[in-house]
Structure 1
């Protein structure tokens, strides 16, 4: 049952056995900031041309086919973008500096060849990323060849694939160990968790990876909207500032985290953004500007994007459960995260909870060692599965009291007759109307997740 409550096992944030010291964290943050500043200083207007839209989707889908890690996925996209920009520059310079009388025709032919080789180059970048992030899950030339043949319809020899990989490395001067945006995100989350152990960094990490995926797919739109909001222009006097903002991975990382916190728990977003600003010395207003654009793109985008992000606020499917099972104390129910599980798992949870009884006449065990909280509570409850037509999530588990408050047989009632009563514990859950488009498609609905025994107001009086 641990997997119902748990977040992914890796990465291990703030692990008491393996966590690094505050000094090392500070040094690593300073190192990342220095690399980021150098990157911003040498940024170009071509930044990001090949890490958006169809390019990003193809690289991500390729990495998924090869079952590569998230770090490798984002590193592959960054490598592909850097390579393609430099590769085209090199070829253009070669043509313009040649003495050929047909340079325009030569350039057109080169462009056609570049287009035909795009998928090969993307796969080569995935190969390099796999080798940088894993010592045993590398994408071999054989795997790459099979993928290009079966999924892309291209036939290359093993030697051709090797030569393509070497071309990427040589074009980038073998400088392929540049940290991806995910590295910045994970470092900042580690620091957030170190500074405040109550911060749900693993939940934010799960959401952040999906937000970052959307940001890359919508990369052009994100910065286009950002410059509209901030009144910057990619032309004339704002050109340098425009390029610097697009190249700033630290700003993107803090904004992705800010967006993830907002999607997971709006009440904490201001606090986390202020803390991120304090850690990175990036002004709060700058973080809020980019965070607002990212959230707006997600909320006003297609229902697919909304569903994907809200699904990853929890986990994998179409139903929300507020941690109804497991070894926890009742007062912690309000502080748990929504968990998405499959319909079959939800039905199993409902059946299991009902196996302990659905009426007040059901025997109530005095043991609290092995039974779940809902079976031994002073206000015992069980779960019912409810279908929500046209809404995401489409199925929700709701708590239902076994003993009506009018029944004095309830253990809560037996504490002090009418002085005690059972009340539901409710959690606010974000829902999405799947038939809606544009603004106002999401709303908050309270869901009963448990119950507790409390003294009535008349008793206090």
Structure 2
């Protein structure tokens, strides 16, 4: 079959924090043209489908600071101490358990989708509040039900995500019980199993959703396929760090991107809601992370990187440049000029 560049709008998985991941480094360049093309088309289709059906609460459980006035917002306010570093907590849990980076990102995706659905179901099932109680009674009832099992739900999402990883030891219930005991929680294996089943049923057993790392690693595979001179191995290491940084700095990065887009330092709630189509766009995130990483690695001209990513995904080069510029400014500090951009 004649080799040809892949210019089809973008899958694979993982991040990094410890030396334990070196045992499972990805091998790039092994996928055929047809497989890569199918991956790209499938990812692009799933990304579009997600954006068309995005929940108004999307991103709520990836935040490090709380925005909005929804049911999820109220719950987040009550759990602010726990949730303030939720993404970081998931990353650390996976590092301690020597799990692959993929597991952390997948766990966060599963957790967010579950919590949004679960909280909405709980509010829908709550009995009407009394004349004196108002919404506070319903909120209180929901919080009581969640208060004793939130960490259990977080860990169950990590367990489920570990079962989706291709090269990772599954977190069994014995390991889970011991780990949670170290954190001061006492759960039985039966409780852990029930928690996993609860999450699966709530999500209709659909937990194999592509996470942003999947998009990043597939696009890197395509970049390497189209141009063998691209230092994929080194670029991959940098993208792992940059993507994790974006997750941990999600609020300021997307806020700055919104401000730059609307040219207004005080976005309205309506503008924030409309901006969900950007904050939930995994393909845009992936190309911007790669572009920022390529700028750091400096293996070729900036324009060449943007043009290649534009051809692969169909995303406007200016959009990629703007987002990657925001990421780089956040990495280096807002006072650092990026003259090469």
The TM-score normalised by the length of structure 1 is: 0.60
- Report deviation, 1:267: 4.8
Equivalence for 2:9:
none
Q: Which runs of 5+ in 2 are unaligned?
A: 1-21, 65-84
The alignment status of 1:23 with 2:34, answered yes or no, reads yes
Equivalence for 1:265:
298
Q: Which runs of 5+ in 1 are unaligned?
A: 1-6, 302-437, 444-461
Q: 1:156 to 1:48 in 2, by over 3 A?
A: same
Q: Determine which of 176, 189, 196 is the counterpart of 1:144.
A: 176
Q: 1:289 to 1:157 in 2, by over 3 A?
A: same
- Report deviation, 1:234: 5.6
Q: 1:269 to 1:117 in 2, by over 3 A?
A: farther
How many residues in Structure 1 have an aligned counterpart in Structure 2? 292
- Report deviation, 1:41: 0.4
- Report deviation, 1:275: 0.4
Equivalence for 2:57:
46
Q: Secondary structure at the match of 2:276?
A: helix
Cα displacement string for residues 352-386 of structure 1 (whole angstroms, at most 9, x for unaligned residues) = xxxxxxxxxxxxxxxxxxxxxxxxxxxxxxxxxxx
Q: 1:28 to 1:123 in 2, by over 3 A?
A: same
Q: 1:173 to 1:205 in 2, by over 3 A?
A: same
CA distance in 2, matches of 1:297, 1:201: 24
Q: 1:234 to 1:291 in 2, by over 3 A?
A: farther
CA contact (8 A) 1:50 1:81 kept: yes
Equivalence for 1:10:
25
Larger CA Rg, structure 1 vs 2: 1
CA contact (8 A) 1:76 1:125 kept: yes
Equivalence for 1:125:
157
- Report deviation, 1:196: 0.4
Flag the structure with higher strand content: 1
The TM-score normalised by the length of structure 2 is: 0.80
The alignment status of 1:79 with 2:110, answered yes or no, reads yes
Alignment of 1:245-256 (within 5 A): 245-256=278-289
Alignment of 1:280-299 (within 5 A): 280-299=313-332
CA contact (8 A) 1:8 1:202 kept: no
Flag the structure with higher helix content: 2
CA distance in 1, matches of 2:56, 2:43: 22
Cα displacement string for residues 138-172 of structure 1 (whole angstroms, at most 9, x for unaligned residues) = 1111111111110x211111111111111111111
The Cα RMSD (Å) is 2.3
Equivalence for 1:235:
269
- Report deviation, 1:29: 0.4
CA distance in 2, matches of 1:51, 1:35: 20
Equivalence for 1:381:
none
